[in-house]
Amino acid sequence: MTNKSRRQLLKLGALVSLIGTTVTGCRINGLLKTPTPTEVKGPFYPVEDQKDKDFDLTRIDGREGVADGKHIIILGHITDIENKPVADAAIEIWQANARGRYNHPLDRNPQQLDQNFQGWAIIASEEDGSFRFKTVMPGAYPASESWTRPPHIHFKVSKPGYTTLITQMYFPGEQLNKTDLLLSHKNALERPQMIAKPVSDEKEIAVYEYNIVLAEI
């Protein structure tokens, strides 16, 4: 990690502390937690490597501009089913830009690419299982003539000893959540696990909480 990236990460952590956010897992009545539901990887998993894959997707190293759209922070914890933190898990994140376009050769969406949007990140959970990253609110986009995908972020979480998780995180209050063909196929217990919770919607930046539960092999 460069000194610039380290300073940005510290600044991001200070912002979250200023908001007063405390993200914790939960174990209800001694019951084990349910692993986060899986989802398809989708057709736009990154295939072309890039140098900058750090926690701040709103900037690209070496460029002065910032990504278009509403900037947001996603934070949470990675735990196992007993609510024990999972440290040093590899977390891959990829998503569409604010216009609903992926930086992927197979994406035929006519919307413009954003040259200042990183689009893909690989980060690691901390000792307490926590993670955070900064990005933009992804745009909705047409998956077919009759299906528009709601804003969502893809996750791939892996660590030796645990089953690799591929899932998608959705945002609360989105009307398209109700008609999404993927999310609607989840049951009433699974859907809430895949929808982030709003922590703060300050004028400057919105913060969402998304906790992930891994299953041991």
| Domain segments of the chain as ranges | 3-214
Active site residue 104: no
Q: Per the structure block, which two tokens stand in for 150?
A: 């709601």
152 assigned to active site: yes
Question: Is 149 one of the annotated active-site residues of the chain?
Answer: yes
Catalytic residue among 152, 170, 208, 210: 152
Q: Which two tokens stand for residue 200?
A: 């703060």
Q: In which residue are the tokens 């600044």 written?
A: 11
pLDDT of residue 24: 44
Cα separation of 214 and 162, whole Å?
7
Per DSSP, the three-state class of 18 is: helix
Closest CA to 170 of 188, 185, 187, 183: 183
CA distance 50 to 48: 7
User: For position 202, what pLDDT does the model report?
Assistant: 63
Which of the residues 59, 102, 132, 170 is marked catalytic? 102
Tell me if residue 45 is catalytic. Answer: no
Name the maximum alpha-carbon separation found in the chain: 51
Flag whether the pTM goes above 0.85.
yes
Q: Got the DSSP string for 94-163?
A: E---TTS--SSTT----SPP-TT---EEEEE--TTSEEEEEEEPPPPEEEETTEEEPSEEEEEEE-TTB-
Q: Which entry of 104, 141, 170, 208 is annotated as an active-site residue?
A: 141
Residue 62 confidence (pLDDT): 93
Active-site residue, selected from the candidate residues 149, 170, 208, 210:
149
Pairing state of beta strands 120-124 and 90-94? antiparallel
- The pLDDT, as a whole number, for residue 3 is 55
Active-site residue, selected from the candidate residues 71, 101, 154, 170: 154
Q: How would you write the pLDDT of the chain (217 residues) with one tens digit per residue?
A: 555 555 555 555 555 555 444 444 455 556 899 999 999 999 999 999 999 999 999 999 999 999 999 999 999 999 999 999 999 999 999 999 999 999 999 999 999 999 999 999 999 999 999 999 999 999 999 999 999 999 999 999 999 999 999 999 999 999 999 999 999 999 999 999 999 999 986 667 999 999 999 999 9
Residue 204: predicted pLDDT: 76
Where does 3-214 sit in CATH, by number? 2.60.130.10
Please report the pLDDT score of residue 25 as a whole number: 44
Which pLDDT tens digit goes with each residue over 6-63? 555 555 555 555 544 444 445 555 689 999 999 999 999 999 999 999 999 999 999 9
Buried b (16+ CB within 10 A) or exposed e, 82-97: ebebbeebebbbbbbb
